[in-house]
Amino acid sequence: MDDVTLAVSYLELRRPPAELPAPVGAERIAVERLAPKRYLELYRRVGAAVRWDQRLRMPAAELEALLAAPRLRIYVLRDRAGEALGLCEFDHGSFPEVELKNFGLVPEAQGRGLGSWLLARALADEWRAAPSRVWLHTDSWDHPRAIPLYQRMGFRVYEVRQEPIEDL
């Protein structure tokens, strides 16, 4: 990798995750329809450290339509007080292929097993719709434990590309 390209890894899952971790505390996971303001607040908190900006650059009307569309399913992890700690977002727009668009936790929730639990629960639920595969792409700006976590869930890397940073 250099200062003009980024390594982008493409991963896919073609069967349900092997095991479902037990809940680690009082947190809960639910599919939610988030208003754009609430979505962007969580998106920023989760993605700031790993340079997420795609949704921040979307025109407001386009983001509002996307968040209201039935093709998008967002699993939100919340603590006992109802504070959002993370999200796992799937796009069914090309079903039977499903794209895992965004996944992560706010920094203060990391390192407690909550990410594994959120991802495994969301994948198990998504698999009930019988997709042909769930796929995602991640890059070298992502959390260093991202690819190992995806691989523990059963994803396999099928391609790695060097892509220009300005295209991301």
CATH number of the domain at 121, please: 3.40.630.30
Range of the domain at 46: 5-167
CA 48/CA 29 separation, integer angstroms: 22
132 contact partners, CB below 8 Å, separation of at least 6 = 14, 96, 97
pLDDT at 166: 65
CA 110/CA 156 separation, integer angstroms: 23
Strand (E) or helix (H) holding 63 = helix 60-68
CA 160/CA 9 separation, integer angstroms: 4
Give the other-Cβ count within 10 Å of 119's Cβ.
25
CA 45/CA 40 separation, integer angstroms: 8
Mean pLDDT of each 10-residue bin along the chain, 168 residues long: 76 86 84 96 88 85 95 96 96 96 91 90 94 90 81 93 71
Q: Give how many domains the chain has, as a whole number.
A: 1
pLDDT at 138: 87
